[in-house]
Structure 1
Amino acid sequence: MTFLETLLDPFQYQFFIKGLVAALLAGGLCGLIGVFITLRGMSYIGHGLSHAIFGGYAAAPLLGIPIVLGAGLWGLASALAINAVTRRHRIGADAAIGVVTTASFALGVALLTKFGNKGPAFDSLLFGSINGVSIGDLLLLGGVFLGTIAIFTVLYRQLLFSTFDPEVAKVSGVNVGLMDTILMVVLSMSILATLSIIGVTLVAATLVIPPVVARMLTDSFGRMLWIATALGTAAGAVGMYLSYQLEIPSGTTIVLVNAAVFLVVLLLKGAKGLGRTAGLDDHTDASATGLVTASAPTRA
């Protein structure tokens, strides 16, 4: 077999084509929504919600509920619970995430241990799998991706304003609580749709690394969205291809590709690029603040 034939060999298999399309969608989706999550200083929530949804994956088959429906409702309930606890009680977001999601993950492990696995393979759920992608997974990913783009397009100004300055946004007439809830719903659905490709333990990295790299490359919030989405998509494609060639889980290779891109950009940009990321959790980026002020909705 020639070198070119070796390179093109994966594309003759239907399961690889489906996996590649899924990886493209999953990477782009995580990169897009990861910008909002990272800028809100809630990077940990992606890790937490993926563990919470794992509990739904384990419980749904035992209850006779379709896995996607059960895991989706479980993840959505966890996201809303975290949001409610954070807003109404004197508990930080990280603490709320830790309590809700670790309990859900532990329940999932307990159910699997007691009753056995009646759903997707345990290893596939943890690390993702190129072999486990179905047409249903592709439809779910595509639907969530298109829905996310539509929501972010329609609510762009409100989400942007509530992300950088929620107090001023509230005074200006933005329903910050509703924006937080919408973002949590989109995040939980995105994690649910990407778990079969990326896995429970690694999805947080795909939500964080592309936005961080994008922030190292630009001061513009709009360009940050485009760059993070493009980086996530490219890393998904390359990672899926390497997953086939190296015979290791797809989630692992996708995260390693993301990490390699981060290191390359870090070497090219040095301290200046890394310094830009210091303000992510503080929401103090000057150009972003100016953009928020310029596009902020006003009360009638």
Structure 2
Amino acid sequence: MGTIIELFSYDFFIHAFWASLFAAISCGIVGTYIVSRRIVFVSGGITHASFGGIGIGYFLGWNPLLGAAIFAILSGLGIQLFTEKAKVREDSSIAIWWSLGMAIGIIFVYLTPGYAPNLMSYLFGSVLTVSVTELWLMGALSVILILFFVLFYRLILYVAFDEEFARTTGLPVSVINYLLISLIAITIVLNIRVVGIILILSLLTLPQATANLFTKDFKRMLPLSVLFAFIGSFVGLLFSFFVDIPSGASIIFTLVLLFGLVKLAVSTKQKLASRA
């Protein structure tokens, strides 16, 4: 315990702690909506499409996350637009933007003058290298998400579980869909540094799967998902530090292990209750 407390005397660890907390809040909230709406693969498409923005950012000398944010939002809106207006099947729309983003990213990384940039922190995450600016952005996103879901909770609930009914009642379903897809895109981009493009989808689904073992209620799943996301992120951060392994993989491994242990405990409790 003393060693863990000593870690908080280092700035890089404090930054990593706050990054884990903000990632838990944003991914816990957004992930609950994604899982409830059953658009996990839409999020996967946005995640991988954002690599195109990273490649363009490197080529133009921008912050790669800025390029990723622009490309992710455009990809999310593009998937939504293709599905709604162009009547392209959702899975086909996802595949188009997914492959386009990855292809553009590879092309622009290759075209970048000089040595090819090190993309490991974007592909697999490196929570220990999160900057102060990124922390402020992650914190601001967490506040925005909390306010948005509190103020528009019922509207989000209607859209998530019965979109057709919401449309018949005159609710602005398309506006909410475009706003939410943009928030999903921003959440994905700002958390890429925590677990990376390859693993970010797990941070948006594993805590929710664990929370779902306790409740099916959307309102209760939100705080539980945030809690499990934080436990997994922080314990994974500690595990990566002491074992000296990549933090992104460590966080996801911890979340999978947490899900397995909770599932085992819940199943055991149910079996004992049925025998009583």
**4+ runs deviating over 6 angstroms:** 117-120
Rounded Cα–Cα distance in structure 2 between residues aligned with 1:239 and 1:49: 25
Alignment equivalent of 2:192, drawn from 192, 195, 209: 195
1:232-273 deviation line (CA, Å, top 9, x unaligned)? 122111111212112222211111111111111221233999
Q: Please report how far the alpha carbon of residue 9 of structure 1 lies from its aligned counterpart in structure 2 after TM superposition.
A: 4.3
User: Which residue is equivalent to 2:273?
Assistant: none
Q: Is the 8 A contact 1:30 1:207 kept in 2?
A: yes
Q: Quick one: percent identity of the two aligned structures? A: 29
Q: Please report how far the alpha carbon of residue 143 of structure 1 lies from its aligned counterpart in structure 2 after TM superposition.
A: 0.8
User: Which residue is equivalent to 2:274?
Assistant: none
Q: Please report how far the alpha carbon of residue 133 of structure 1 lies from its aligned counterpart in structure 2 after TM superposition.
A: 0.9
User: Which residue is equivalent to 1:159?
Assistant: 156
User: Which residue is equivalent to 1:293?
Assistant: none
1:1-300 counterparts in 2 under 5 A? 4-115=1-112, 121-270=118-267
Rounded Cα–Cα distance in structure 1 between residues aligned with 2:108 and 2:164: 42
Unaligned 5+ segments in structure 2 are 271-276
Q: Please report how far the alpha carbon of residue 201 of structure 1 lies from its aligned counterpart in structure 2 after TM superposition.
A: 0.2
1:28-50 deviation line (CA, Å, top 9, x unaligned)? 21111101111111111232212
Letter in 2 for 1:56: G
Q: Please report how far the alpha carbon of residue 195 of structure 1 lies from its aligned counterpart in structure 2 after TM superposition.
A: 0.7
Question: In 2 relative to 1, CA 210–119 (structure 1 residues): closer, same or farther, beyond 3 Å?
Answer: farther
Letter in 2 for 1:268: A
Letter in 2 for 1:267: L
1:141-188 deviation line (CA, Å, top 9, x unaligned)? 001111111111111111100110001111112111111111101001
Rounded Cα–Cα distance in structure 1 between residues aligned with 2:31 and 2:107: 30
Deviates more, 1:4-13 or 1:237-246: 4-13
How many residue pairs were aligned?
270
Rounded Cα–Cα distance in structure 2 between residues aligned with 1:35 and 1:56: 26
Q: Please report how far the alpha carbon of residue 107 of structure 1 lies from its aligned counterpart in structure 2 after TM superposition.
A: 1.5
Rounded Cα–Cα distance in structure 1 between residues aligned with 2:264 and 2:153: 33
Q: Residue 87 of structure 2: SS of its match in structure 1?
A: coil
Q: Residue 213 of structure 2: SS of its match in structure 1?
A: helix
Unaligned 5+ segments in structure 1 are 274-300
Question: In 2 relative to 1, CA 18–47 (structure 1 residues): closer, same or farther, beyond 3 Å?
Answer: same
Q: Residue 127 of structure 2: SS of its match in structure 1?
A: coil
Rounded Cα–Cα distance in structure 1 between residues aligned with 2:156 and 2:69: 23
Q: Residue 84 of structure 1: SS of its match in structure 2?
A: helix
Letter in 1 for 2:160: T
Q: Is the 8 A contact 1:29 1:232 kept in 2?
A: no
For normalisation by structure 2, the TM-score amounts to 0.91
Q: Is the 8 A contact 2:57 2:63 kept in 1?
A: yes
Q: Residue 131 of structure 1: SS of its match in structure 2?
A: helix
